[in-house]
Amino acid sequence: MLSLIEKILFAVAAVLAAGLASKEFLRKYRLISSGQKVSRSDRPLRRLWAMAYRVLLQIPVISQRPVSGLFHAVIFWGFLVFLGVTLNHVAEGFAAGASLFGHGTLYAVLLFAANLFAGLIILAVVYFFVRRYIVRVKSLERPSWQSLTVLCFIFILMVSFVYYEAFKMTLPPLTGGLAGTAAYPTNFLANLAFAGLPADLAAAPQTAWVKVLWWLHILVIMAFGVFIMYSKHLHLLAGPVNLFFQNTGVKAEIPLVELEEQEKFGTPQVTDLTRKDLLDLFSCAECGRCDDVCPAFQSGKALSPRTLLDKLKQHLLESAAGLRGDPADMKKLFGEVVSAEEVWDCTTCGACMEVCPMLNEHIAKIMGMRQFAVMMESRFPEEFQTLYRGLENQGNPWGINADSRGDWAKDLQVPLLAGKGETDILFWVGCAGSYDQHSQKISRSLVRIMQRAGCDFAILGGEETCCGDPARRSGMEYLFQMQARQNIETLARYPFKRIVTACPHGLHVLKNEYPKLGGNFTVLHHSELLHELLEAGRIRLKPGSGSVPMTYHDPCYLGRYNGNYDIPRRVLERLAGGRQPEMAASRKTSFCCGAGGGGMWKEEKSGQRISHCRLQQAQETGAGTVVTACPFCSIMFHDAIAETGREGMKTLDLAQAIEETLA
């Protein structure tokens, strides 16, 4: 179909497009390679399968936004089909009537699928245009010329395909078979377009129009390929690679800092981020799903997880020329690229990472900046002075006398492990359960339940010290390791079978972070023990005890971090006699109470209080009681109820709710 000159022009255009795309690809590859090495290549087949599953089925995209996600998936699946169609178009240009797929059933199926997806993709383009540029949903408030350009590219590709096929019908069949047949049923969109053409235009062969549309389709494909490399749509290529290198270990894992060997801590400059961190920046689709679930963003604070990644990406691109120079000449990430307010607004709840289709790791970047700010520049919220002083001197965030850690249990005849020698259950009380008056009620309820069930248990009392979570999540790795090593040394002295704690933060640290320091223990959350006791009949509930509707709040470090969503609900169902109303944001999308990441000890100085937002969500269920499974969540809700004047509501821990209804 193409003349010799046209074939030469095609070759020149293809080489030019490939050259431009390759040049930008290599530039960004070098930028990513400037980061710190990180090992993420274990179990390659499993990683490849996980990547293919998420990419091909598009489930993460659809699950959070069913309508938008489905249209996005339609475009993706359609482009898989059009990959074959485009290759076939190239073949037709070089040899009229040629088909890489023959002229039988396979070609018919491909053409039918192309027509079907062309129509659906045009609908998707219209939908996304209206959503982005007319309705302007909250998570996409900033108009994006890049997105508009891509929508135009896609629309032109679909229309050029349809009319190319329509005008091709006016040509005489060159191969027999199906080519050039206007009545071809699988080419239904082209038939429709052909029927809509003016009679004089459709009457005669239209060789010129076929060529024009062929060139339009091919040149837009080439331009699209180049544009992807220069725009945020690089996520189409970077995203699948990013999924392959996803973290398959501990959720939002914080690398262990070698305190005696490292000269700097955290991530002062962009080159201190890992290569996976930098790959995240180009994998971000800027879809805003992270902002939709971020408690800081939704409560009106400075932090936007999406904007955070964009700031880091723009800084990386701007720093390209100076990456090989003196690092001291580069901007510091904390305070210069990303504001201090953004860094400290994060509650480390993990909601942003849970919903991200690309599995970007926002928290790792924030934690690196916090470690740098705290350990190298001593820049942190002034409230943390009390936190760090209390941890260092008394082993608890409140700074209360360490010797009084077990005073809450003096009248309950709770044995100390030091006197008992060994036990089945070591009840890890935690700082809140030991010192906070509200949380002490949770500890006392759990003790009385275990006594009623005849459990063999003991506590450490004054030998227990903070697990280290507040220090670690606020960036003070030194204090975390000091607390952790002391606790591991203490625990190693005693024989016990399992640790039970009511604190999800303690659960996560003891279970998932102590092993890197040599502490390997079997750790259960108290909801798991309560469920075990109920199932075994060791505790019984009064019949008809669940007369007041209750709603359950998923603690971030119990749910998202440790996957425990169902067991607390099973306990609540046993307690309340059936399923209870769920908040709109629950399970994986549960909204944080605001206490995580050091938030318990930091004043919220902008926007609404996160706990107030969550309490409002609880009230909208019509439930009078918010049931929690975390002492910090319980404290936040208790205070929020008083601060907002919702005296008709109350908050209970699972243990308290169970104790109230014991038979």
Task: Please return the burial class of 321, using the count of CB atoms within 10 Å of its CB with bins 0-12, 13-18 and 19+.
Answer: exposed
Buried b (16+ CB within 10 A) or exposed e, 224-234: bebbbbebbbb
DSSP type of residue 598: T
Residue with the bigger pLDDT between 452 and 202: it is 452
Confidence of residue 172 (pLDDT cuts 50, 70, 90): low
Q: How far is CA 598 from CA 233, 385, 473, in A?
A: 35, 12, 6
Residues 6+ apart with CB under 8 A from 374: 266, 380, 384, 474, 475, 476
Pairing relationship of beta strands 457-458 and 423-428 according to DSSP bridges: parallel
Tens of pLDDT, residues 541-584? 887 655 678 999 999 999 999 999 999 999 998 888 778 899 99
pLDDT band at 177 (very low <50, low <70, confident <90, very high): very low
Question: What stretches of 169-304 show up as alpha helix (H) in DSSP?
Answer: 188-195, 199-203, 207-230, 235-244, 275-283, 289-293, 295-298
For CA atoms 567, 570, 574, 579, the dihedral sign is positive
> What is the spatial distance between Cα 257 and Cα 472, in angstroms, rounded to a whole number?
11
Tokens of 561: 């971090």
Is residue 180 pLDDT above 80, yes or no? no
Which neighbouring-strand residues pair with 426?
458, 499
Find the helix or strand (DSSP H, E) in which 482 lies.
helix 477-491
Residue 126 · residue 93 · CB < 8 Å: no
Tokens representing 43? Answer: 């179990």
Answer whether residue 315 shows pLDDT above 80.
yes
CB distance 421 to 635 below 8 Å: no
Say whether pLDDT at 44 is over 70.
yes
Number of other CB atoms surrounding residue 623 within 10 Å = 20
User: What gap in Å lies between CA 60 and CA 239, rounded to an integer?
Assistant: 13
pLDDT tens profile 45-60: 999 999 999 999 988 8
How far is Cα 84 from Cα 244, in angstroms, rounded to an integer?
A: 25
Helix axes of 44-57 and 235-244: crossing angle, nearest 10 degrees: 140
Instruction: Measure the CA–CA gap between 16 and 326, rounded to whole angstroms.
Output: 35
CB 445 within 8 A of CB 656: yes
Q: Give exposure, 140-178, as e/b (b: 16+ Cβ within 10 Å).
A: beeeeeebeebbebbbbbbbbbbbbbbbbbbbeeeeeeb
Res. 203 pLDDT band, cuts 50 70 90 = low
Report all structural domains of the chain as residue ranges with CATH numbers, in order of start: 4-244 (1.20.950), 270-375 (1.10.1060), 398-525 (3.40.50), 535-660 (3.40.50)
For the cut 60, the answer to whether the pLDDT of residue 175 exceeds it is no
pLDDT digits (tens, 9 = 90+) for 204-224: 567 788 888 899 999 999 999
Q: Report the share of the chain in percent with pLDDT over 70.
A: 94
pLDDT average, residue stretch 326-332: 81
Question: Which residue did the predictor score with more confidence, 433 or 99?
Answer: 433
Strands (E), 412-456: 423-428
R_g of the chain, CA atoms, integer Å: 30
Q: What is the dihedral of CA 602, 603, 608, 613, to 10 degrees?
A: 50
* Rounded CA separation 563/504 (Å): 11
8 Å CB contact between 592 and 283: no
Instruction: Quote the pLDDT of residue 197.
Output: 67
Which region holds residue 549: left if phi is over 0, alpha if psi is between -120 and 50, else beta? beta
Within 13 Å and on the Cβ side, how many CA atoms surround 166? Answer: 24
CB 34 within 8 A of CB 323: yes
Are 460 and 438 within 8 A, CB to CB?
no
DSSP-assigned states of every residue in 134-159 = II--GGG-S--HHHHHHHHHHHHHHH
First vs last C-alpha separation in the chain: 87
User: What value does the mean pLDDT take over residues 416-421?
Assistant: 93
Query: Which pLDDT value is given to residue 179?
Result: 46
- Chain mean pLDDT for the chain: 90
Non-local (6+) Cβ contacts of 143 within 8 A are 132, 133, 136
β-strand partners of 296 = none
Any idea what DSSP says for residue 132?
A: I
Confidence of residue 442 (pLDDT cuts 50, 70, 90): very high
pLDDT at residue 202 is higher than 80: no
**Beta-carbon-side half-sphere exposure of residue 567 (alpha carbons within 13 Å):** 19
SS (H, E, C) 354-380: HHCCCCCCHHHHHHHHHHHHHHCCCCC
SS3 411: helix
Is residue 173's pLDDT more than 70?
Answer: no
pLDDT score recorded for residue 473: 96
Question: Distance between CA 653 and CA 663 in Å, rounded?
Answer: 18
- Give the pLDDT confidence score for residue 358 in this predicted structure: 94
What value does the mean pLDDT take over residues 499-510?
97
Question: What pLDDT is attached to residue 535?
Answer: 94
Query: Rounded CA gap, 561 and 592, in Å?
Result: 12
CA gap 198, 468 in Å, rounded = 76
Which tokens in the block code for residue 166?
């329509």
